[in-house]
Amino acid sequence: MFGTRLVSGIILIIIALAALILGGPVLAVILLAISLIAYRELTKALNVAALPRGAGDGKNGPFNLLEIVGFLGIAAYYAAVFFSGDTTLLLMCIVGVFMAEMFLYVAVFPKFTAEQVVGAFFSFVYAPLMLSFVYLTRMCPRGIYIVWMILISSWGCDTCAYVVGILIGKRKIFPVLSPKKSLEGCIGGVLGAALIGVLYGHFFVEVAFPDQTVKWIIAFICAVGAVMSQVGDLAASAIKRNHNIKDYGRLIPGHGGIMDRFDSMIVTAPMIYFLTILMIKL
124-157 confidence digits (pLDDT tens): 999 999 999 999 999 998 899 999 999 999 999 9
Task: Determine the pLDDT at residue 6.
Answer: 62
Q: Is residue 273 pLDDT above 90, yes or no?
A: yes
Distance CA 9, CA 74 (A): 26
**Which pLDDT band holds residue 282 (cuts at 50, 70, 90)?**
low
Query: Which residues neighbour 55 within 8 Å (Cβ) at sequence distance 6 or greater?
Result: 61
Task: Determine the pLDDT at residue 177.
Answer: 86
Query: Which residues neighbour 113 within 8 Å (Cβ) at sequence distance 6 or greater?
Result: none
Report the pLDDT averaged over residues 3-21. Answer: 79
Task: Determine the pLDDT at residue 3.
Answer: 65
Task: Determine the pLDDT at residue 57.
Answer: 44
Q: Is residue 261 pLDDT above 70, yes or no?
A: yes
DSSP track, 91-102: HHHHHHHHHHHH
Distance CA 213, CA 8 (A): 37
Task: Determine the pLDDT at residue 174.
Answer: 86
Q: Is residue 101 pLDDT above 50, yes or no?
A: yes
Give the whole-number percent of the chain exceeding pLDDT 70: 93
Distance CA 124, CA 194 (A): 31
Model pLDDT for residues 160-205, shown as the tens digit of each residue: 999 999 999 888 988 888 888 899 999 999 999 999 999 999 999 9
Q: Is residue 61 pLDDT above 70, yes or no?
A: no
Report the pLDDT averaged over residues 213-235. Answer: 95
Each as own residue / partner, the long-range contacts of residues 60-64 (CB below 8 Å, 24 or more positions apart, any chain) are 64/112
DSSP track, 234-266: HHHHHHHHHTT-S-S-SSBTTTBSHHHHHHHHH
Average pLDDT, the chain: 90
Global confidence as pTM: 0.91
Task: Determine the pLDDT at residue 54.
Answer: 41
Give the whole-number percent of the chain exceeding pLDDT 90: 71
Report the pLDDT averaged over residues 109-117. Answer: 93
